[in-house]
Amino acid sequence: MTESPNLVAFTPERLETVKEIIARYPEGRQKSALLPVLHVAQEQWGWVSSEVMDYVAGLLNIRPVEVYEVATFYTMYHLDPVGKHVIEYCRTGPCCLMGGEDVYGHLKRKLGIEPGETTADGLFTLKEVECLAACGWGPVFQIREQFYMNLTNEKVDQIIEELSK
């Protein structure tokens, strides 16, 4: 982020969403909105910078450190810039039983990156995640809200090619 803190702001539609989220909780319990609001922030900026965290703290009327400790505790919030598509690949046992490790190796070779890295064209970021609660349909990865299941090398090729267009 190059913007200065006071330039960080939700779009009007997202600000409405945030207000609606805050209104879900009892009076004085607006901190409950923190996790959902951070998801909205990530939707807008792709990741959650410290400027964004400060901004969210202001909206919820809580201290910035209360946002930092939450954003760094949960694994879904990206604390660094990411590519257009973040591939969140399940590395847990049941997926591995279904050949998840081999498919993962293929995916890494295909993208030419290791977990935590982004492809040079900025299209893909690879992230290893733990169990996605889809073990019967493994191997599995997720890109945003979409689950890609019963993965094979061929399927991975198709998905990557499709998303590269």
Partner 1 sequence: MARKILTEHINVPGIETFDVYRKQGGYTAVEKAIKTMTPEEVVEEAKKSGVRGRGGAGFPMGMKWGFLAKPEGVPRYLVCNADESEPGTFKDHHLMKCIPHLLIEGMIISSFALGANKSFIYVRGELMYVIRILEKAIAEAKAQGFLGKNILGSGYDLELVVQPGGGAYICGEETALLESLEGKRGNPRNKPPFPAVKGLYQSPTVVNNVESISNMPWIINNGGDAYATIGIGRSTGTKLISASGHIQKPGVYEIELGVSVEEFLNSDEYCGGVRKGHYLKALVAGGSSVPILPANLITKTAAGEDRLMTYESLSDGGFATGTMLGSGGFIVFDETACIVRNTWNFSRFYHHESCGQCSPCREGTGWMEKVLHRIEHGHGSMHDIDLLVDISKKIEGNTICPLGDAAAWPVASAIRHFRDEFVWHITHPQEATQPGAVYMGEMALV
Closer residue to partner 1 in complex, CB, 121/145: 145
* Residue selected from 10, 55, 77, 124 as contacting partner 1 according to rule CB under 8 A: 77
Check residue 123 for interaction with partner 1 (CB under 8 A).
no
Check residue 56 for interaction with partner 1 (CB under 8 A).
no
Check residue 25 for interaction with partner 1 (CB under 8 A).
yes
Counted residue by residue, the chain has a size of 165
Q: How many residues bind partner 1 (CB under 8 A)?
A: 45
Residue 83 is encoded by which pair of tokens? Answer: 């590519």
Check residue 22 for interaction with partner 1 (CB under 8 A).
no
Check residue 70 for interaction with partner 1 (CB under 8 A).
yes
- The answer to whether 87 touches 128, Cβ cutoff 8 Å, is no
Q: How far apart, in Å, do the first and last CA atoms of the chain sit?
A: 27
Residues with Cβ within 8 Å of residue 159, at least 6 apart in sequence: 148
The sign of the dihedral angle between the CA atoms of 93, 95, 98, 103 is: negative
Check residue 32 for interaction with partner 1 (CB under 8 A).
yes
Report the amino acid identity of residue 133. A
Question: Which residues contact partner 1 by CB under 8 A?
Answer: 24-26, 29, 31-36, 38-39, 60, 62, 66, 69-70, 73-77, 88, 91-94, 96-98, 129-138, 142, 144-147
